[in-house]
Structure 1
Amino acid sequence: MYVHGNNLQQKENHLTKYRDDESCRFLREIRAKYEDWKAANLSLRGPVRDPDERDMEIINRRVALFNEYKDFIDQQHYAEKFDSRSNLHSSVLEEFMYYLFRDLVESISNSAMIGKSHTFKDLFFTANSFQEMLVTPQILVERKDHDFAIGVHIDASFRAAGQPQREFETWDLPAVAVECKTYLDKTMLQDASTASEIIKHRNPNALYLVVAEWLKLTEAVNLRKFKIDQIYVLRKQKNTDREYRYREGYVKNPVYEDVVMQLFNDVRSFLTRSWEGGVSHGLQRGFLL
C-alpha cells in the first residue's frame, strides 16, 4: 500500500546501513516531507467510479503534490546518498499509483486488491508417485511480483476425488497490472511484454500497462510487437542520465496532468465496462476478435 513509506522505514530502521549523521539527517528531512505528501493525498477524495466535473481538479491536485514531493526527493544530495539500487526514488511512483486509484477501487468494491502484489503466474502438480497423486495433488503456485495491481485475492482449495483432505493456496489475480519505471528502455520493455503475455495467458481479460517518468527508446523500435496495452510517459521527455540532470541549463519536465488523466480514465473505463467475449459472443456478431 504505502510502498515508498515502507522503503523509507526500512532505511530508518536498518541496523548497519544509513547510520551516519548525514544519512540520518537526510532521512528525517525526507520523512517530514513524505508525511506531508501522504496526508495531503489521503485528505483528497476521488476520482471515483462515476465521472464527475471535479475529476480533473482532483487529478491536477494529486499531480501537483507528486511533482512537489518528487522534485524534493530528487535533489542531488539525496540522489547521491540513496542511489537507484535503494529504490527510494522509484518507489514514489508506485505509491502515487495507490493514491491515484484508491478511491476508484474502493467505490467499486471494498474487497478488491490494490497495491504492490504477488500475482498468480502458474500452477504445478508435483506428487511424487501415482499413489500419492490419488490422495493429494501436491499443488505449487508460482507467483510474479508486480509494482502495482488492481484485482482480487483468491482463496482456493484442492482435493483429489474421493479424498477428505484438502490443500489450500492463496494468490492475487490482477485485472490491471502496472509496471512502474523511472525510465523505460528496450530491455525493460521486452521484460514487461513477457510479463504481460504470461498474465494474459492465465487471465485473458487483464489489462497490462507501463507507466514511466522518462523514455529511453529510439525511433527504431516496433512498439506493436510488444504485448502491452499502453505505455504512459508522464514527463513527455526522453531520459537523461542522472548526472546530466543536475547540470546548469537542464530542463526537467514536470509530470503532466493530461497524461495522468488519460491513465486514470483508461483504467476506470476498463474496470467499469463489460468484458464479455469468447467464441459464442463473437459468433453472434460474426467476428471473433
Structure 2
Amino acid sequence: MMKVEKIKAHGSKLEALLTNSKLPKEDLHNVRCAIDNYQEWIDKLNNSDKNGDDLLIYMVDSLNIYKNSIDIDLIFKSESDFLYRQNGQLKLSNSILEEFLPYLFDERLIPGFSNIKNAVCGPQSSFSGLSFGSPLLKLSQGGVFLKKKDQDFSVAKKHTITIKDNPTSGDIFSANFCVSHFATEIKTNLDKTMFQEASQTANELKSAVPGARYLLLCEYLDMTPITTKLTSIDEVIVLRKAKRLSSNIRKDFSSVKGRKNYLEHYSEFIKSHPLSIDSFRRFIHHLNDCFPADNNETDDTIINRGYF
C-alpha cells in the first residue's frame, strides 16, 4: 500500500501569519476567517465519497473556490499593503497547490496505485547519483557519496544501500534513500530560468532512474514556450491555460489604491482563467500511464499487441 504524505504546506503558513508581529491589525480578522475557510476546504478534500472524474471535478472546484478566497478576498482586497507585498516571502498563495497536490494521489483516481507496495508519495529528497571518492578515503568517511535531489512531489520507493570492501576491511557505507519514479515540480509563474533549472533537475533524475517521469506544473506561463523534446522534462502543464498579467498592470497592485482601481479587472482575470479541470485531467492521465491498473506485460500480451 502506498503512503501519501499530506503536509500542511499552506495551513502552517496561515497559522504562522496569525502570530506574525508585522501583520497589520486590519488584516487580523480576515486571516482568522481564512483559517476557518482552510479547515472547511481540507475537510471537503478528506471526506468526499465521489470516485473517478466526479471526484476530480469536485476537488478542483473546491480548490478554485478556496484559492480565490485567498488570492482575492484575503490578499488583493486587503486594506493594507503588507499581505500583497509579502505574499511571495510568506508563501501564502503558492503553498496552496503544494498542499492540494497530494490529495490527487488517490486510488480512486489512479487505480494502479493499488499495485505498488511500500511506496511513498509527497515531497522527497530523491536519489540522483552515486559516486566514489579517493581510494585513500574510508567508505564511511567520504569514499562514497550518495547524491540526492529535492522534489516537490514524487512517487518513490524507499531503499537501503550497503557498500563493503571485497575482501572486507570492516569499513561499510550504508544509507537510506528514495528512488522517484514519478516526479513533479510546481511553479506559480514559470519563466525561462525556472524552466532551465527544471530541465537540469529532470536530466539528473533520469540519468539515475531512466524510466522515471518528470512533469513541470505552473499556474501561469511567464516565458515563450520551449519544446520539451530537447529536454528531459516529459511535459509542462499550464494549470490556468494563461500567461501572467503584464508587468505594466501588476506594478499598480502594490498599493491599496492601485488594487482598488484594478479589483474588477483582476477578479475577472482570475475567474476567467480558473485552475483548469482539463489540465488536472492531463496530470492524472500521466499518473495512470505511469502506473497502469493492468500491468500484464506477458510475452503473449506483447505479441498480440504487436509492439513494445
Confirm or deny a common fold (TM above 0.5).
yes
Short-chain TM bin: 0.7 to 0.9
CA deviation after TM superposition for structure 1 residue 91, in Å: 1.3
Match of 2:103 in 1: 99
Match of 1:83 among 78, 83, 87: 87
Q: Tell me, what secondary structure is at the counterpart of 2:99?
A: helix
CA deviation after TM superposition for structure 1 residue 4, in Å: 1.9
Q: Alignment RMSD, CA only?
A: 3.2
Q: Which runs of 5+ in 1 are unaligned?
A: 47-53, 277-286
The alpha-carbon distance between structure 1 residues 185 and 154, as it changes in their structure 2 partners (threshold 3 A), is same
Higher-RCO chain (CA-CA 8 Å, sequence separation at least 6): 2
Per-residue CA deviation, residues 157-194 of structure 1 (Å, 9 max, x unaligned), is: 22222134533212221111111111211111111111
Match of 2:304 in 1: none
* 2: CA distance, partners of 1:79 / 1:234: 24
Q: Which runs of 5+ in 2 are unaligned?
A: 1-5, 254-258, 298-306
CA deviation after TM superposition for structure 1 residue 81, in Å: 5.9
Match of 2:173 in 1: 167
Match of 1:189 among 191, 195, 205: 195
CA deviation after TM superposition for structure 1 residue 107, in Å: 3.1
How many residue pairs get aligned? The number is 268
The 5 A counterparts of 1:1-289 are 1-2=6-7, 3-12=9-18, 17-18=21-22, 21-22=25-26, 24-44=28-48, 54-75=51-72, 76=76, 77=78, 79-80=83-84, 82-103=86-107, 104=110, 107-109=114-116, 111-126=118-133, 130=136, 132-133=137-138, 138-161=143-166, 162-218=168-224, 221-240=226-245, 242=250, 247=262, 248-250=264-266, 251-252=269-270, 253-272=273-292
Conservation of the 8 A alpha-carbon contact between 1:116 and 1:146: yes
Q: Tell me, what secondary structure is at the counterpart of 2:291?
A: helix
Scaled by the length of structure 1, the TM-score of the pair is: 0.79
The alpha-carbon distance between structure 1 residues 205 and 106, as it changes in their structure 2 partners (threshold 3 A), is closer
Per-residue CA deviation, residues 97-121 of structure 1 (Å, 9 max, x unaligned), is: 1011144476344631111111122
CA deviation after TM superposition for structure 1 residue 198, in Å: 0.6
Conservation of the 8 A alpha-carbon contact between 2:160 and 2:176: yes
Per-residue CA deviation, residues 138-174 of structure 1 (Å, 9 max, x unaligned), is: 4332322111111112222222221345332122211
CA deviation after TM superposition for structure 1 residue 233, in Å: 0.9
Identity %: 25
Per-residue CA deviation, residues 266-289 of structure 1 (Å, 9 max, x unaligned), is: 21121127698xxxxxxxxxx99x
* 1: CA distance, partners of 2:274 / 2:140: 59
Conservation of the 8 A alpha-carbon contact between 1:136 and 1:166: no
CA deviation after TM superposition for structure 1 residue 249, in Å: 2.8
The alpha-carbon distance between structure 1 residues 81 and 187, as it changes in their structure 2 partners (threshold 3 A), is closer
* 2: CA distance, partners of 1:275 / 1:73: 45
Q: Tell me, what secondary structure is at the counterpart of 1:83?
A: helix
* 2: CA distance, partners of 1:85 / 1:135: 39
The alpha-carbon distance between structure 1 residues 183 and 163, as it changes in their structure 2 partners (threshold 3 A), is same
